[in-house]
Amino acid sequence: EAQVTQNPRYLITVTGKKLTVTCSQNMNHEYMSWYRQDPGLGLRQIYYSMNVEVTDKGDVPEGYKVSRKEKRNFPLILESPSPNQTSLYFCASGLGQGNTEAFFGQGTRLTVV
């Protein structure tokens, strides 16, 4: 089954404790991205990657890191999480050839206390 898988689905952590949210897709998509969803703000792009070893900042990259060492994986790293990073996070992937459908993961609800 074609899918984008994020882990974990839920995470509660403390301020300053490094964490990683994993994202994996099995559709051989070139393009992957991370969004955060906050009430009244919609989905805002954090980082995106157009291929292996190619990453770039989205609209809200501060406090986040990503890497793309393999085509299928695109982890999101919070080196020192803060309470304002409490949010619902979505990973997405797509063909990247022109503008095509973005396939979203199930979401990760992160709470930083």
d(CA 29, CA 50): 9
**Residue closer to other proteins, measured from CB, 40 or 113:** 40
Identify which of residues 32 and 78 has a Cβ nearer to other proteins in the complex: 32
Helix (H) or strand (E) holding 85: none
* Shortest Å, Cβ 57 to other proteins: 10
Q: How far is the CB of 12 from other proteins (least distance, A)?
A: 18
Which CB atom, from 102 or from 112, has the smaller least distance to other proteins? 102
Contacts with other proteins by CB under 8 A lie at: 31, 33, 35, 40-45, 48, 50, 58-59, 90, 92, 94, 96, 98-102, 104-107
Cross-strand pairs, 49 = 32, 55
Query: Closest Cα partner for 108 from 47, 43, 23?
Result: 23
Nearest-approach distance from CB 19 to other proteins, in angstroms = 21
Identify the residue whose tokens are 């609800």: 109
| Pick 51 or 80: Cβ nearer other proteins | 51
Contacts made by residues 49-57, CB under 8 angstroms, sequence distance 24+ = 49/74, 50/96, 51/96
